[in-house]
Structures are given as C-alpha cells and as structure tokens.
C-alpha cells in the first residue's frame, strides 16, 4: 500500500518505551493522533502532550489499530520516523550576498549545496533562519504551541537594506514576524552577519537599537563577521575587517552590554570570537556570555575552552597521580587545528610540556588552501589540506609522533569523514599515524593527550588519565 501525505513510517521503536509496550514496530505507519492528521514533527510533539492519547497505526498487512494510551503529560511515545521532520525540508528562497554555499567550489557532494531555511530546524538543531519562508499562520502556530527558542538571522532591521542583503523583495516585510513573536512571548535569539561597508557602522548601531526593543523575549544577539572564501567570482564584493575595524565592532557592543544587564539581567549583544582574535584582544570574562547562549554560533567558545582547560590543568597538578605521570609520561604527538585557534592551542601545549618534561606536542595551524586562507576555523579544514601539509612536515624530517589529534568538528557529525569526503582512514594511511578526533573542551583536550588510548565516544567527559599509563605502549 502506497504511503499518502501525512502518513509517517516508523523507523525505530525505543526499547522500554510506551510504543514498545503498545506493540508498535518498525515499518508500521502512524496515521493520526487524537483524530488529527500530523503535518510535521511539531504537530506530532504538540498532539502527544497529554495524559490520554489516541493513536491510529497501520500495520504492514493493512490492518489499522486504534491505540488508547494513558501516560504522564510530557512522556514521549518513543518513536523515530524515517523522515525526522515528518515532512519535506524547506529550501532557502534568498540569495544572500554573504551566503557561504554560494562560495563553495564545484564538484563536492550534492547535499553540501542544499540551502535550508526551515523554521523546524531552528528548534530541532539550532539553525538560524531568515523568516522569509514563513507565513503569518506559521508564526501563529509557533505562538500557539509555544515553540522556543527560535533562532533568527536578522542581518539588519533596515527593511530596504535587508531586501538588498538577502536579495529578496519580501525580506523587509518579514521583520514584522519578530514583533508577533515578541507579543506572543516566544523566546528568540538573533544573529547579525556583518558585512564590511554594508550593515556595519551606523547600520549596525540602528540594528542593535531596534533589536533591544524585543528584550527580554529576544534573549541574545550575536554579531559575526561574514565568512569569505576564494570562490567569490561574480558575487557581491565583501572585504575583510582589519584589526582596527574589528576593535570598533567590539567597542560598540561592549559599550552597551552593562546597560542591558542592569535593566534585564542579560548582556544581550555578543561579539563572536573571531572579532577578538582579529583585533588581538582578550576574550570577555565568562559572566558576560550569559551562560553561553550562542556557543554553537562561535560566541564564547574560546573563553569556555580556556576556563575548562585551566580548571582541568589545576586539578591534574593537584592530583596524587601527577608526580608518577610526570615521571612516566613519554610520548610525541601532533595536534592539527585551524589558524583561528592555533595560538590558544599552542599555549595549552606549552603548559603541558612544562608539566611533563618528556611530553612533546607539535601544534600545526592548517592553512585552508581548499577554501582560501581567509577561512581560519577548524571546522572547515579539509582532509586533503591536512594530509598535504603534514606530509610536508614529515618530509622535512620532523617527528610528528604516532598520533594526530584533531578537533571532532573537522568531521561530519557521527561519521569519520571530512568535508571533502576524505576519510579518517585515508589520513591514517597517508600519514601513517593514528587519527584521534577529540571532543571540544579543555577537559577532553588534556584527557586525550594523557591517555594514549583515548576514544571520544567512550571517554567523553570522564577523566581516565589515572589508568592511562598502566597499559603501556606508545601511541
């Protein structure tokens, strides 16, 4: 029997769940809940929030079951569907002047060229959306279901300029949806992708002043510089910010934070880490990040990393195992990272080598030849750049050791594959080194260096350095 619209094939039933108890199985089809058709994942989540639920399931032989379910109000049924959104993805209708996908080289896998602008991914994955794909009924549904937070890519509150930046004549009008969400008490976060000579300067001042009017339901706004690759032929000309210009952006943001904090208990506007690195300034203290609301947007990531490393390093030095480790730890390894974080990682490595005299750590900032040297984040380092540049080091006679540590964000989530489809196994074969992906965080950074058999899936979040050198052997 062909599956119709609003019918959802069940991919997995979680062990011990309500669904397993009701004898629902993978391959069954969910037809309705409480006599309501299910348009997407938000309809589903909204409809199951009750103490009594009626679900209609169709079995593979065509038989339909009406299941009456008594449960706690917030209990999940324990189902996973073939399509996680339970409907088609919505692609982006804009052609933003700063769009990173438009700056991608040809010949990469097809999925990397898909531009999403789907509000549901904002809630499920933290994506930032422009609101241009939405209608008033979509906003009303968000308010009715109290879905939050919604992450909004604002860029500017100047309607005419927003139309220009997004290359969409309706982009200015959709700013009214922020007012609707504010009136509906829906929690929001905002983002401004700053393009030199376009929405910076006085335009940025206007945008920040306008967005402050949505406090306290707009909880945070990040200002991030546009990412510029070498593939911009025929695209809108965007320049790089100088150190002085980056400092001006920081000064504008920091001059307002205290006032917002005194009135709302939030510093509200945050400069991403790139601004501080470009300007050559220290990162703000932890308290100014309001609990790291926009960590995944590159806001406060370095401050959190530094604080976690310092705390873990002090705990290590104070531990009863330190003296033994300092005498027995004997290894050479390499850490590869992006140019943005290189100086910080190098400083951490130097501290560890002073504490462990026979520990040798090489830290290499991988130059991004694939996208261009203007791209400096580790998450966009490709496998081919990694192989080529480290091979050059080896050919020059440098001893890189037996292990290559990389931040886990160089790989696709849940896979051993780099952005350019080079695999971890390819790198290991080419360099004759064990590749060790390391989860972000100062604790994990130290743990991976001290434990020759570190595995991020096994050891994430747990110190295992006490046992690390009882096993013997070189990495």
Q: pLDDT value at position 93?
A: 73
* pLDDT by residue, tens only, the chain of 475 residues: 445 667 899 999 999 999 999 999 999 999 999 999 888 887 888 888 889 999 999 999 999 999 999 999 889 899 998 877 777 766 677 789 988 878 888 777 666 655 555 555 555 555 788 888 888 988 998 898 888 888 999 999 999 999 999 999 999 999 999 999 999 999 999 999 999 999 999 999 999 999 999 999 999 999 999 999 998 888 889 999 999 999 999 999 999 999 999 999 999 999 999 999 999 999 999 999 999 999 888 899 999 999 999 999 999 999 999 999 999 999 999 999 999 899 999 999 999 999 999 999 999 999 999 999 999 999 999 999 999 999 999 999 999 999 999 999 999 878 899 989 999 999 999 999 999 999 888 999 999 999 888 876 544 433 332 222 222 222 2
171 vs 301: CA distance, rounded Å: 31
Q: pLDDT value at position 115?
A: 57
Angle between helices 342-355 and 442-450 (to 10 degrees): 50
Q: Is 364 helix (H, G, I), strand (E, B) or coil?
A: strand
Angle between helices 442-450 and 301-318 (to 10 degrees): 50
Instruction: Sketch out the chain's domains with CATH numbers.
Output: 8-81 (2.30.42.10), 100-297 (3.80.30), 305-450 (3.40.50.11600)
249 vs 243: CA distance, rounded Å: 10
Measured in Å, how far apart are the chain's first and last C-alpha atoms? 55
Long-range contacts of 298-304 (CB under 8 A, 24+ apart): 298/222, 298/224, 298/272, 298/273, 298/274, 298/377, 299/220, 299/222, 299/224, 299/270, 299/271, 299/272, 299/273, 300/270, 300/273, 301/273, 301/440, 302/273, 302/276, 302/277, 302/341, 302/344, 303/273, 304/441
Q: What is the pTM of this model?
A: 0.81
245 vs 251: CA distance, rounded Å: 10
């Amino acid at each position: 029997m062909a599956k119709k619209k609003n019918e959802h094939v069940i991919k997995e039933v979680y062990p011990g769940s309500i669904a397993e108890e009701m004898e629902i199985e993978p391959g069954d089809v969910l037809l309705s809940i409480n006599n309501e058709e299910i348009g997407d994942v938000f309809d589903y989540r909204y409809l199951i929030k009750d103490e009594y639920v009626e679900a209609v399931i169709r079995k593979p032989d065509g038989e339909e079951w009406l299941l009456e379910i008594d449960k706690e109000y917030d209990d999940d049924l324990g189902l996973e569907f073939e399509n996680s959104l339970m409907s088609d993805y919505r692609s982006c209708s804009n052609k933003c002047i700063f769009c990173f996908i438009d700056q991608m080289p040809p010949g990469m896998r097809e999925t990397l060229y898909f531009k999403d602008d789907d509000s549901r991914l904002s809630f499920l994955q933290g994506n930032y959306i422009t609101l241009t794909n939405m209608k008033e009924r979509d906003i009303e549904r968000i308010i009715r279901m109290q879905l939050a937070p919604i992450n909004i890519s604002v860029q500017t509150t100047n309607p005419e300029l927003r139309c220009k930046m997004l290359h969409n004549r309706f982009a200015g009008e959709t700013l009214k949806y922020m007012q609707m969400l504010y009136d509906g008490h829906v929690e929001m976060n905002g983002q401004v992708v700053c393009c030199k000579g376009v929405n910076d300067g006085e335009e940025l001042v206007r945008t920040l002043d306008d967005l402050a009017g949505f406090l306290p339901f707009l909880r945070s706004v990040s200002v991030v510089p546009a990412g510029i690759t070498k593939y911009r032929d025929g695209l809108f000309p965007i320049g790089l910010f100088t150190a002085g210009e980056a400092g001006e952006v920081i000064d504008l943001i920091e001059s307002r934070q205290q006032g917002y904090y005194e009135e709302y208990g939030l510093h509200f506007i945050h400069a991403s880490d790139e601004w501080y690195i470009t300007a050559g300034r220290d990162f703000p203290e932890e308290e100014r990040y309001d609990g790291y609301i926009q960590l995944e947007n590159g806001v406060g990531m370095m401050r959190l990393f530094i604080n976690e490393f310092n705390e873990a390093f002090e705990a290590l030095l104070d531990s009863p195992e330190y003296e033994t480790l300092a005498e027995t730890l004997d290894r050479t390894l390499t850490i590869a990272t992006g140019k943005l974080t290189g100086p910080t990682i190098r400083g951490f490595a130097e501290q560890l080598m002073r504490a462990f005299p026979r520990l040798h750590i090489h830290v290499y900032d991988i130059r991004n030849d694939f996208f261009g040297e203007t791209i400096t984040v580790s998450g966009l380092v490709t496998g081919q750049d990694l192989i080529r540049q480290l091979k050059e080091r080896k050919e020059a006679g440098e001893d890189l050791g037996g292990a290559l540590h990389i931040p886990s964000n160089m790989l696709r989530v849940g896979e051993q594959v780099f952005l350019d489809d080079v695999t971890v196994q390819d790198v290991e074969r080419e360099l004759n080194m064990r590749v060790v992906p390391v989860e972000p965080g100062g604790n994990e950074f130290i743990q991976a260096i001290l434990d020759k058999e570190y595995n991020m899936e096994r050891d994430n979040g747990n110190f295992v350095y006490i046992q690390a050198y009882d096993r013997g052997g070189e990495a």
